[in-house]
Amino acid sequence: MRRILLTLTLLCSSASAADDLTARDLVEKAMDHWRGLTSWGISTMTIHRADWERSMTMESWSKGDKTTLVRVIEPRKDAGNATLLNDGTMWSFTPRINRIIKIPSSMMSQAWMGSDFSNKDIAKSTDIIDRYDHELTATETVDGHVQYTVTSVPHEDAAVVWGKEVLIVRDDYVLIEQQFWDQDGVLVKKMETLEVAEMGGRPVAKVLRMGEVDAPEEWTQLTTEEIKFNLKLSDNLFTLSNLRNPRQ
């Protein structure tokens, strides 16, 4: 009985705390929860198409809200492919040609390695916090959690592709869904959390699925196998030198 009461108390406290936040705060809290102060993780990406499917395993690190490194470790033919985001600038490294390529901002929304996730998605970019205006447009309770729907519209001068994004954030700041709408008000694609699990000392979106709305048979699923937060990570990890020649 005490355990049940404690669980209910924690849920109510979480919902109450979230109720006091603005729409922008909710988005920022969701991004912070996703990344932590620092993070390290192993994940599996499965790209599913009508006539084929392939998977790859990745190791990733993040520090602060603007620095991310993602490196493919399996299968062998893709191992070593890596992406680095550092303060809004992105580079990719392909060992097959031993070359680092700077990705222009115009390509940040392009597909990452043939998946349904964009370069910006895979790097867990937090640009949405400052480049969009945010409005709380709905609140509902699902499975004992309050879920907040935030509609985010880009600033007029923001160099972004989408006309708006809609985020559903749970009261414990797990991002449940993210919708991407074009300039004509048409829903193009969405990312959904299929499974939430306790990992790294917090509830996280363990299984994410991204796909275009008009092609439901095609999707990309990202499954977190292991994750740790708030580790001590050196700044040297997030350099072009380490992107090409990994030292850890």
| Residue 242 confidence (pLDDT) above 50 | yes
84-138 pLDDT, tens digit per residue, is: 999 889 999 999 999 999 998 888 889 999 999 999 898 888 889 999 999 999 9
Q: How is the chain split among helix, strand and coil, in percent rounded to 5?
A: 20, 50, 30
d(CA 15, CA 57): 35
Pick the CATH number of 2-244 from 2.40.50.180, 2.130.10.10, 2.40.30.10, 2.50.20.10: 2.50.20.10
- Token digits of residue 52: 């084929």
Does 154 sit behind a cis peptide bond, omega within 30 degrees of 0 on the bond before it? no
pLDDT of residue 182: 95
With 0-12 CB in 10 A as exposed, 13-18 as middle and 19+ as buried, what is 220?
Answer: buried
Does position 3 have pLDDT exceeding 50, yes or no? Answer: no
d(CA 53, CA 74): 15
Q: Which residue has the tokens 């490294």?
A: 93
**So what's the pLDDT on residue 248?**
55
Give this prediction's pTM: 0.88
Give the Cβ contact number of residue 114 at 10 Å: 10
80 DSSP 8-state letter: T
Angstrom distance (rounded) from CA 97 to CA 95:
5
